[in-house]
Amino acid sequence: MAYDIPAPMLAKAAPAVPDPARTPGGLLYEPKWDGFRGLLAWDGETLEIGSRGAKPLTRYFPELADAAATALPRPCLLDGEIVVATGEPGAQRLDWEALSQRIHPAASRITRLAAETPAMFIAFDLLAEGDELLQDRPFAERRERLERLLTGIPHPFHLTRTTRDRALAQRWLAEFEGAGLDGVVAKPLDQPYAPGKRTLIKIKHARTADVVALGYRIHKSGSSVGSLLVGLYDTEGVLRQVGGVAAFSDVRRQELVDELAPFVERDAEGAAVTGEGERSRFSGAKDVSFVRLRPERVLEVRYDQMEGARFRHTVQFERWRPDREARSCTYAQLETVAGYDLDEVLERV
């Protein structure tokens, strides 16, 4: 049985956990796992993993392929999340950096990391079972069949927990972040699987911080601001780059060139000073250079969570803060999240 791997079903953002009474057919709530989206096709002999962007992921996670033969009871097509956990027993959490390290061209490194930082697959939907295709069935039926198929399966495969209790979902939103999760997803129970459609609802944390503008990258058009680079001062008074701000309109990108011109660092000849931005394994040959700004302008941004000393995702511009001194923008202003053991999230699934 060979399965065609579809585009994954997507989610649109909401500011709060929605009320199921306002949704015909009701809602089922799940934790929002922070990993690589994976559609896993198991034909009984071989495993194929497709990503959200249609990139094959199978070669990067050989431990999942090896475990499938004994863990998965029969051919199936699963939708879920690939995650990596690190930390001491009793204090484990999802580790995005360790997960991102797994995408590497060298087979020897993949083999080593599969042993050092093995991945888990968290299943949350069933698109096919045996010869039966299920995408047209309502989610309530797909979830029931997923539970029958996977309940009691061994690590590294897990079935995500769910609830119909909105209050419990709100508690998950508050508590599970301490284990590295990044929110809650609400799924209409009466809907079929809709590849590429944003019919699910995601609720993530929304916070603000005042940060210092460090520089900007030139937009691909070559004549405007592509993204702002921002930073925070650490306890030793060192200004650290913590992320980027993007999603500006074309008009706003051009306006920012003029607004930031007085703050551009210039050399003795008056030319703009440039720097080399941080490069990730996902950057490839992408130009990461940027125009340096004197660290004087403060802006307020919206963010969802931190990953170590950096914002986990691209942050959103809120407003300029001319009333704030750059030196006052420190890590101390950021909300501290209480730790939560990942095993407690996985405990009853």
- Residues 159-185 have pLDDT tens digits of 999 999 999 999 999 999 999 998 999
What mean pLDDT is predicted for residues 72-98?
94
HSE-up (13 A, CA, CB side) for residue 327:
2
What mean pLDDT is predicted for residues 259-285?
75
Pull the structure tokens for residue 19.
């009320």
Least confident segment among 54-58, 115-119, 127-131, 236-240: 54-58
Query: Above pLDDT 70, what percent of the chain?
Result: 95
Neighbour-count burial for 54-93, b at 16+ CB within 10 Å, e otherwise: eeebbebbbbbbebbeebbeebbbbbbbbbbbbeeeeebb
What mean pLDDT is predicted for residues 123-147?
98
pLDDT higher than 80, residue 54: no
CB-neighbour burial class of residue 283 (10 A; exposed 0-12, middle 13-18, buried 19+): exposed
pLDDT band, very low/low/confident/very high, at 126 (cuts 50, 70, 90): very high
pLDDT band, very low/low/confident/very high, at 247 (cuts 50, 70, 90): confident
Q: What's the pLDDT at 280?
A: 47
pLDDT band, very low/low/confident/very high, at 216 (cuts 50, 70, 90): very high
What mean pLDDT is predicted for residues 97-125?
94
Torsion of CA 6, 205, 34, 211, to 10 degrees: 110
pTM above 0.75, yes or no: yes
Q: What's the pLDDT at 347?
A: 63
Residues tagged active-site: 32
- The per-residue pLDDT of the chain, averaged, comes to 91
Distance of CA 234 to the CA centre of its chain: 25
Q: What's the pLDDT at 314?
A: 87
What mean pLDDT is predicted for residues 331-342?
87
Q: What's the pLDDT at 52?
A: 81
Q: What's the pLDDT at 282?
A: 40
Q: Which helix (H) or strand (E) holds 140?
A: helix 139-150
Pull the structure tokens for residue 73.
């009871």
For the chain, list the domains and their CATH numbers. 10-204 (3.30.470.30), 207-333 (2.40.50.140)
Closest CA to 328 of 228, 236, 231, 233: 233
Q: What share of the chain is helix, strand, coil (3-state, %, to 5)?
A: 25, 35, 40
Choose between 260 and 278: higher pLDDT. 260
Least confident segment among 81-90, 183-192, 308-317: 308-317
Top-confidence range, 48-52, 113-117, 204-208, 314-318: 113-117
pLDDT higher than 90, residue 330: yes
What mean pLDDT is predicted for residues 1-13?
91
Q: What's the pLDDT at 312?
A: 84
Least confident segment among 3-7, 207-211, 277-281, 328-332: 277-281
Q: What's the pLDDT at 288?
A: 64
